[in-house]
Structure 1
Amino acid sequence: MFKSRMLQWLIMILISITLIALAGFVLWNYLDKQAQGDDPALQAATSVDGVKPKRLTADQIVAQTVEMTDITTNLTGKDFVKISFAFELDSKKSKEEFEKLSTRVKAIIIQTLADMSADQIRGSKGYDLISTSLINKINPILTAGKLRQVDITNINIVLN
């Protein structure tokens, strides 16, 4: 009788340890995926996963690029920014769609910049933050292709 009770306790302890280890593993994977979801650079990388990397000629780049100049908007606080972009798309068809959606794209740009401060957008890290945020927000509205790259061609930050 003593051995059967010990065996029952041993089995219960092993099952408990297994369940705790399984719960820890599931929790670890959940938190890891959640942490990756907060990184705009990682989101941008996954957003352009379907775009095949190929070397484009200068003429092809020009044919697939849309420029938006002199967009002025307020930042958080009293500061504002005047900024220009060059958007490189993956095909001429996606460029045509992008041009048709230009007012929606401008609204996305203004909304994105309105949530940022002057300190956040300064320097190369700030430019990367703007670019990756825009890729993440613009690609879902495109159906004919993908936005490959966002270049900031001019930026003036006015501090008040």
Structure 2
Amino acid sequence: MKNKVLSVSLIILVCITLIGAVILILVMQLNKGDEVKEPTIDEIIESSVDIEEITTNLGNQQFVRLTLKIQTDNKLAGEELAKRDFQVKNIVIQELSEMTSKDLEGKAGKKAFEDALKAHLNPLMQNGEVQKVYIVSYIIQ
């Protein structure tokens, strides 16, 4: 009788361990698909658009000259953004006209400008979205 109880207990313990191992493996496999694969530099360049040099006045009567590179999430979105070049320039000029040179100072100022452009450009996009805005060159006078 003792051997029978011990055998049943051992079998139940092994079954619970196996079920736990199977659940753990399934959860790990499901989470593996959720990992976001970072694009390669070639993919980034392929889906990016260069915005030629823009010179405009700031809100405090100084002027800024800058060049941008805008990264989208896919090649089709990049092609769309290239066609929307005039809208991009309009948004950049409008954004800068409300800013002063103080607003663009330091890393935080430039990051805020990049984020504002991204927020204004994404509603225009139909074939993807803007991932990142890069300031490639920048001069304030």
- TM-score of the alignment, normalized to the shorter chain, above 0.5: yes
Larger Rg: 2
| Post-superposition CA distance 1:4-27 (Å, at most 9, x none) | xxxxxxxxxxxxxxxxxxxxxxxx
Per-residue deviation, 1:115: 0.5
| Post-superposition CA distance 1:105-133 (Å, at most 9, x none) | 10000000110000000110111111000
Q: What secondary structure, in the 3-state scheme, does the structure 1 residue paired with 2:68 have?
A: strand
For residues 26-65 of structure 1, the aligned pairs below 5 Å read 53-65=36-48
Q: What secondary structure, in the 3-state scheme, does the structure 2 residue paired with 1:70 have?
A: strand
| Post-superposition CA distance 1:40-95 (Å, at most 9, x none) | xxxxxxxxxxxx94311111111011111311110012101001111000001101
Asked whether 1:132 is paired with 2:76, we answer no
Aligned to 2:124: 141
Aligned to 1:80: 63
Give me the whole-angstrom Cα distance separating, in 2, the residues matched to 1:153 and 1:56.
Answer: 20
Q: 1:133 to 1:53 in 2, by over 3 A?
A: farther
Aligned AA for 1:119? Answer: K
The gaps in structure 1 that reach 5 residues or longer are: 1-51
Q: What secondary structure, in the 3-state scheme, does the structure 1 residue paired with 2:140 have?
A: strand
Q: What secondary structure, in the 3-state scheme, does the structure 1 residue paired with 2:127 have?
A: coil
* Count of residue pairs the alignment pairs up: 107
The percent identity for this pair of structures is: 31
Q: What secondary structure, in the 3-state scheme, does the structure 2 residue paired with 1:119 have?
A: coil
Aligned to 2:73: 90
Give me the whole-angstrom Cα distance separating, in 2, the residues matched to 1:114 and 1:53.
Answer: 37
The gaps in structure 2 that reach 5 residues or longer are: 1-34
Q: What secondary structure, in the 3-state scheme, does the structure 2 residue paired with 1:73 have?
A: strand
Q: TM-score, normalised by structure 2?
A: 0.73
Q: What secondary structure, in the 3-state scheme, does the structure 1 residue paired with 2:126 have?
A: coil
Pick aligned residue for 2:91 from 66, 84, 108: 108
Q: What stretches of structure 1 move > 3 A for 4+ residues in a row?
A: none
Q: What secondary structure, in the 3-state scheme, does the structure 2 residue paired with 1:82 have?
A: strand
Q: What secondary structure, in the 3-state scheme, does the structure 2 residue paired with 1:118 have?
A: coil
Provide the alpha-carbon RMSD of the alignment: 1.2
Structure having the larger proportion of residues in helix = 1
